[in-house]
Structure 1
Amino acid sequence: MMTINRRQALTQIIGISTAAAGATLMGTSAFAATDEAGNYKLELGEKLKYFPLDAMATAKVAYETGGGCMHQVFHSMVHMLSLSDSADAAKFASIPTALAGYGAAGIAGQGTVCGNNNATGMLVNILGDINGQNSAVIGSLFRYYENTELPLSSDEFVAGIGSTAEKTKDEVVTSSVANSILCHSSISNWSRASGRTFAQKGERCKRLSASIAYHLVELLNRAYAGEDLSALPESKPSEEAQACKSCHGVDATMGSGASVKADMECTTCHTGHFN
């Protein structure tokens, strides 16, 4: 007896209607996002439909998922969307989330952009238009990461993701503010506040990924409901960062100033013109 995998089944369901209904049989090659073997494949530029998720359930999946921060966030979001009522749930199920593993510790240990933020961009990039708020979701999440004491450690959140108060005390020790979207700033500020080393970051970073997955779902759900996130102060760069743009603009600069395109915090690294 021949067996077929989930993707092949999906293709047959979509691509072939019953002869009893008088439908014309169509080969899988007629579908742009289907290979010769009948397997669905996400194409460049293709957008999938978001559907509201449970923030705590998603955070719990992120906490329980290994593979580093980027994989934790990307996998939890894609996995939950594959189980959701999204019209594209089966397509989400086909995405190989393991590809996000490269983002751990700021991209293969380089300490650059934190995998939580990398995963956010990767996920939102494949989502269809959410009331014009896709870019605002990314901006809001990044500003949240920069300016919030993380990871979340309330009793409710800790219990919800399946952790314990003992781990909060012994392994996380304290939350901290990253002041940047970069991994090395986030870890360094936590290390300074907690007295722990990078090598001891395990529980803290698992919690951080759960925290970001939680807030990302909150933002996406609010955008889906029609809220204008782009109008919120917390979605915009700090006043200091915005002031920098008055001289370091995108299409015009002050004097010999360099043109800069960025919304991230500036003063974390650039404290003036004479350093």
Structure 2
Amino acid sequence: MTINRRQALTKIIGISTAAAGATLMGTSAFAATDADGNYKLELGDKLKYVPLDAMATAKLAYETGGGCMHQVFHSIIAMLAASDSVDAANFATIPTALAGYGWAGIVGQGTVCGNVNATGMLVNILDDINGQNSAVIGAAFRYYENTELPLSSDAFVAGIGSTAEKTTDEVVTSSVANSILCHSSISNWSKASGKMFSEKGERCKRLSASIAFHLVELLNRAHGGEDLSLLPEAKPSAEAQACQSCHGVSETMGSAASVKADMECTTCHTGHFN
């Protein structure tokens, strides 16, 4: 009987585990490896992150098609698949095309932006990064809401392979989304730039590159041991925190509804007294 390399590896792993004890299988490297040595990501699997080059990831996101969610998710997964992570080969098996549904706020519905959708999808499958995974998501979401995007400095534009002419002619200006919704993000940019939704191509490609860049920066900082939860940008705004004081998760003020949300409130809700 002959066996291939994958089968041989599986047998070696099995022998090693039997000899040394199941505790040696604590890493995620073979968490969902079948008898033939084929890995398939399963619910609850966590893969090891290693620091990436933020600009190289942003450039890949800019060059990748398939809409904003696919651009961000694919670029970071592809970079991790080519990295020295112990789970590099496992990252390579993830079908990033699944993220293609997230364009224009989930198949054109204008709801949650694909950039932040991809952020959650990615961080959810990463192994614990010094206890900072939730802070990474919070900081990335608040950054998307409150920052003038896309990034358009000369260095960033050159780094992703775009041009100053495209900044002037197609992006025109950056804008603040004030929300994690595609609808708000595009509407505010359209108002600021005078461009139509149908003309968003370069702007949205750069927005995905911008989010990929910042997300990698956050992940790298978390990996380096920085406590991102202490950053102001990782927390809801003062206005949102004020809303939470009445609309709590476990307790509320009087007849106020119980709400779980860290996103900006006043973008859609103007308050009770005006």
Q: Same fold (TM over 0.5)?
A: yes
1:125 aligns with 2:120: no
Aligned residue runs from structure 1 range 128-139, under 5 A: 128-139=127-138
Deviation at 1:17, TM superposition (A): 3.8
Q: Deviations over 1:195-242 (max 9, x none)?
A: 001100000000000000000000000000000000111111110000
Aligned residue runs from structure 1 range 42-57, under 5 A: 42-57=41-56
Aligned residue runs from structure 1 range 176-255, under 5 A: 176-255=175-254
Contact 2:10 2:35 in 1 (8 A): no
What CA distance in whole angstroms lies between the structure 2 residues aligned with 1:12 and 1:221? 35
Superposition misfits of 4+ residues, deviation over 6 angstroms: none
What CA distance in whole angstroms lies between the structure 2 residues aligned with 1:142 and 1:76? 18
What CA distance in whole angstroms lies between the structure 2 residues aligned with 1:118 and 1:85? 26
1:214–1:191: structure 2 CA closer, same or farther, 3 Å change rule?
A: same
Deviation at 1:32, TM superposition (A): 5.6
Equivalent residue, structure 2, for 1:167: 166
Aligned residue runs from structure 1 range 64-143, under 5 A: 64-143=63-142
What CA distance in whole angstroms lies between the structure 1 residues aligned with 2:43 and 2:251? 33
Q: Deviations over 1:100-142 (max 9, x none)?
A: 0011100011101000000000000000000000000000000
1:12–1:51: structure 2 CA closer, same or farther, 3 Å change rule?
A: farther
Contact 2:78 2:91 in 1 (8 A): yes
Calculate the TM-score normalised by the size of structure 1: 0.90
Q: Deviations over 1:222-268 (max 9, x none)?
A: 00000000011111111000000111000111111100000000000
Deviation at 1:274, TM superposition (A): 5.9
Equivalent residue, structure 2, for 1:27: none
Equivalent residue, structure 1, for 2:23: none
Aligned residue runs from structure 1 range 13-28, under 5 A: 14-17=9-12
Equivalent residue, structure 2, for 1:28: none
1:133–1:145: structure 2 CA closer, same or farther, 3 Å change rule?
A: same
Residue type matched to 1:169 in 2? Answer: T
Residue type matched to 1:166 in 2? Answer: E
What CA distance in whole angstroms lies between the structure 1 residues aligned with 2:252 and 2:121? 31
1:158–1:261: structure 2 CA closer, same or farther, 3 Å change rule?
A: same
Deviation at 1:76, TM superposition (A): 0.2
Residue type matched to 1:232 in 2? Answer: L
Q: Runs of 5+ in structure 1 lacking a partner?
A: 25-30
What CA distance in whole angstroms lies between the structure 1 residues aligned with 2:31 and 2:102? 30
Residue type matched to 2:211 in 1? Answer: I
What CA distance in whole angstroms lies between the structure 1 residues aligned with 2:36 and 2:102? 31
Contact 2:73 2:119 in 1 (8 A): yes
